[in-house]
């Protein structure tokens, strides 16, 4: 990780509010991304749960670059009964 990378990350604005529709699985992250929680991943997948970034139309793959770790934690905070 470089100093430029850290500086860029620190400049990224966060939203003051996150929200979710726990029934549909639609939620918005602190970065303002629109996501869709789709339940457990199939056996053998890289992640425990399927989450799609609906702005980019991509499934988060569990890598650090995809943001899966902090995205699932935000959904868990909003909808704890959906994630077990």
For the chain, domain boundaries: 3-78
> What is the token pair recorded at 61?
């793959």
Structure token digits, residue 6:
């850290």
User: What's the rounded Cα separation, in Å, for the pair 76 and 43?
Assistant: 21
Does pTM surpass 0.95?
Answer: no
Name, in order, each residue with C-beta under 8 angstroms of 37's C-beta and a sequence gap of 6 or more: 25, 26, 27, 49, 50, 51, 75, 79, 82, 83
Q: pLDDT tens, position by position, for the chain (84 residues)?
A: 788 888 887 887 777 789 999 999 999 998 889 999 999 999 989 999 999 999 999 999 999 899 999 999 999 999 999 997
CB neighbour class for 31 (10 Å; exposed up to 12, middle 13-18, buried from 19): middle
């Amino acid at each position: 990780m470089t100093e430029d990378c850290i500086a860029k990350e620190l400049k990224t604005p966060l939203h003051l509010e996150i929200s979710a529709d726990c029934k549909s699985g639609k939620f918005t992250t602190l970065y303002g991304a629109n996501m869709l929680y789709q339940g457990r991943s199939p056996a053998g997948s890289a992640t425990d749960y399927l989450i799609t970034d609906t702005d980019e139309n991509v499934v988060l793959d569990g890598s650090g670059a995809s943001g899966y770790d902090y995205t699932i934690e935000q959904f868990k905070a909003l909808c704890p009964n959906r994630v077990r």
